[in-house]
């Protein structure tokens, strides 16, 4: 349980939605656990317990509230920003590793024994990896029950359960309802095709959220064939464990609408996790903006458009390759280079809802690609992909960030700018700061900071540990396509600034 009772209870009394996902409120008199913002009557102090995860509350014998649906709250920002073993494990579990490889596979990826890992997670999260994965399976099952017309048998195995009995028991225990009752109460339309399943769901986030830099950046840097924008929707292909998928993400003031078209519904959990990571939906923008607003120079930028997120990626290897492709050239040139590589080395996909054609190529293919760029940068590109293909460099959700950045630094042609951009967008390092970036240096000149990297590094120290978010505000000073959503029509007469990955 969480020991900081007074702070948590104050959040419950205020029904502050910003704390949803940070912790869960369990009530001993009803045996129900809720999100802090639950509109129900505030329980008496003596009946309240606080847990750091839904899995811990379930393990203690509490079931999910039917009114506030705590399983749909945003995730804790801790698991994305922290770099320790517990956070790495949480990111891997969210990505579906336990369902695919079991707890031994999870432990092996982290370099721990199963026993060490279980002790660590029990101490940090209040539950072991099996209980955490079980809570995640229950959430996935509920999504499939309420958004699809699949038979319950298929829902059970798609959610990761090993048997129908386990599925039924878990749903009843967690939600105090049978799978059939959950489906009957749902009023959402079903969208399921014969061979490929389309699931529509809402991705929650903490207010506020500024879509300009987030969706604008993804649209402006979209690689032809892999990504596209149709109307107000950003779409892209995904390489998943059981076959390719396509995800379509649309911003609304209350949630992000996600339409996932999958070859196999067992990949739904991974798709949700990668979509949330891509859009940085588990961030706590109020805490970040409050910290950065202490700097008077940044305060007007934050007041103008608060809630900026860090646009990330769905695959660390893909992002690293794209960052190297984008060294010292414009955004449009980088898109052109990447699009050619996709057409030549990417795996074809079928997209009945748009114009997506390929998955982004694997590092094994790009390690031998003949890229139309200067010889030295082409050699860097190949070395990077060789390191990724051999697993010498790992950029997945459970990787060791410090080790990954150090390995990048050992590759010839990978400088500080490239390291920091990969750390920011592929590794999710909230404190990454590419001080040599031209856009940041232009903004610094306007704000009279001084534009040399060394001066900027010194000036940025008070922004820690949120410098990656400060970067988004500095970039917002440039009237660049990455800061506009919906996207502006592309013009052949204007060239975006260089070094915008």
Instruction: Just list the catalytic residues.
Output: 34, 437
Q: Which residue has the tokens 């704000």?
A: 447
Alpha carbon 482 to its chain's center: 19
Q: Can you tell me the distance from the alpha carbon of 170 to that of 159, in angstroms, rounded to the nearest whole number?
A: 12
Q: Can you tell me the distance from the alpha carbon of 315 to that of 397, in angstroms, rounded to the nearest whole number?
A: 9
Q: Can you tell me the distance from the alpha carbon of 239 to that of 315, in angstroms, rounded to the nearest whole number?
A: 9
Q: Can you tell me the distance from the alpha carbon of 452 to that of 460, in angstroms, rounded to the nearest whole number?
A: 12
Residue 407: closest CA among 424, 379, 434, 388: 388
- Contact call for residues 33 and 26 (beta carbons, < 8 A): yes
Distances from the Cα of 275 to the Cαs of 237, 312, 411, in angstroms?
Answer: 11, 10, 30
Q: Which residues pair with 251 in a beta bridge?
A: 256
- DSSP code for 501: -
Residue 195: closest CA among 270, 262, 268, 266: 262
Q: What is the CA radius of gyration of the chain?
A: 23
Q: Which residue has the tokens 């410090």?
A: 402
Q: Which two tokens stand for residue 426?
A: 């592929």
Q: Which residue has the tokens 């990417």?
A: 346
Q: Can you tell me the distance from the alpha carbon of 155 to that of 197, in angstroms, rounded to the nearest whole number?
A: 12
Q: Can you tell me the distance from the alpha carbon of 225 to that of 244, in angstroms, rounded to the nearest whole number?
A: 14
Q: Which residue has the tokens 């990787």?
A: 399
Q: Which residues pair with 358 in a beta bridge?
A: 348
Q: How many residues does the chain have?
A: 501
β-strand pairing of 32-34 with 63-64: parallel
User: Backbone phi, then psi, for 233, in 5-degree steps?
Assistant: -115, 135
Determine how many CB atoms are found less than 10 A away from the CB of residue 254: 11
Residue 128: closest CA among 82, 59, 33: 59
User: Left, alpha or beta for 235 (phi > 0: left; psi -120 to 50: alpha)?
Assistant: beta
Determine how many CB atoms are found less than 10 A away from the CB of residue 290: 13
Distances from the Cα of 28 to the Cαs of 25, 73, 395, 466, in angstroms?
Answer: 10, 21, 42, 38
């Amino acid at each position: 349980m969480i020991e900081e009772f007074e702070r948590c209870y104050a959040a419950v009394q205020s029904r502050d939605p910003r704390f949803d996902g940070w912790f869960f409120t369990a009530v001993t008199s009803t045996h129900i656990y809720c999100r802090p913002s639950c509109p129900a009557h505030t329980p008496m102090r003596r009946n309240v317990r606080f847990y750091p995860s839904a899995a811990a509350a379930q393990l203690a014998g509490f079931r999910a509230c039917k009114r506030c649906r705590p399983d749909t709250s945003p995730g804790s920002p801790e698991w994305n920003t922290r770099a320790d073993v517990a956070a790495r494990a949480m990111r891997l579990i969210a990505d579906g590793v336990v369902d695919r490889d079991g707890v031994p596979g999870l432990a092996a990826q982290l370099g721990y024994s199963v026993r060490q890992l279980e002790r660590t997670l029990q101490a940090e999260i209040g539950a072991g990896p099996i209980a955490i994965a079980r809570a995640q399976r229950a959430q996935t099952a509920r999504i499939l029950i309420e958004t699809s017309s699949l038979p319950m048998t298929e829902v059970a195995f798609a959610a990761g359960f090993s048997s129908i009995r386990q599925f039924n028991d878990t749903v009843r225990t967690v939600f105090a309802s049978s799978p059939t009752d959950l489906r009957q109460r749902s009023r959402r339309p079903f969208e399921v095709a014969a061979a490929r399943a389309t699931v529509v769901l809402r991705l929650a986030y903490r207010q506020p959220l500024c879509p300009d830099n987030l969706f604008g950046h993804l649209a402006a840097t979209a690689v032809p064939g892999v990504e596209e924008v149709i109307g107000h929707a950003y779409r892209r292909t995904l390489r998943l464990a059981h076959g390719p998928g396509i995800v379509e993400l649309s911003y609304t003031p209350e949630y992000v609408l996600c339409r996932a078209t999958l070859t196999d519904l067992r990949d739904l959990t991974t798709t949700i996790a990668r979509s949330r990571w891509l859009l940085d939906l588990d961030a706590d923008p109020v805490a970040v903006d409050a910290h950065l607003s202490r700097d008077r120079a940044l305060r007007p930028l934050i007041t103008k458009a608060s809630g900026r997120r860090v646009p990330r990626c769905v695959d660390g290897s893909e992002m690293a390759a794209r960052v190297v492709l984008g060294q010292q050239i414009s955004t449009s040139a980088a898109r052109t280079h990447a699009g050619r590589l996709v057409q030549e080395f990417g795996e074809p996909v079928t997209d009945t809802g748009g114009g997506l054609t390929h998955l982004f190529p694997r590092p094994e293919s790009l390690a031998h690609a003949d890229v139309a760029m200067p010889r030295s940068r082409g050699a860097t590109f190949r070395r990077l992909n060789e390191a990724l293909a051999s697993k010498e460099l790992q950029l997945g959700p459970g990787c060791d960030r410090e080790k990954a950045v150090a390995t990048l630094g050992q590759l010839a042609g990978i400088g500080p700018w490239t390291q920091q951009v990969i750390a920011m967008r592929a590794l999710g390092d909230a404190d990454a700061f590419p001080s040599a970036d031209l856009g940041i240096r232009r903004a610094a000149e306007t704000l009279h900071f001084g534009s040399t990297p060394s001066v900027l590094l010194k000036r940025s120290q008070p922004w820690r540990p949120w410098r990656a978010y400060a970067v988004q505000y500095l970039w917002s000073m440039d009237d660049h396509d990455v800061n506009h959503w919906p996207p502006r029509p592309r013009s052949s007469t204007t060239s975006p600034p260089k070094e915008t990955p």
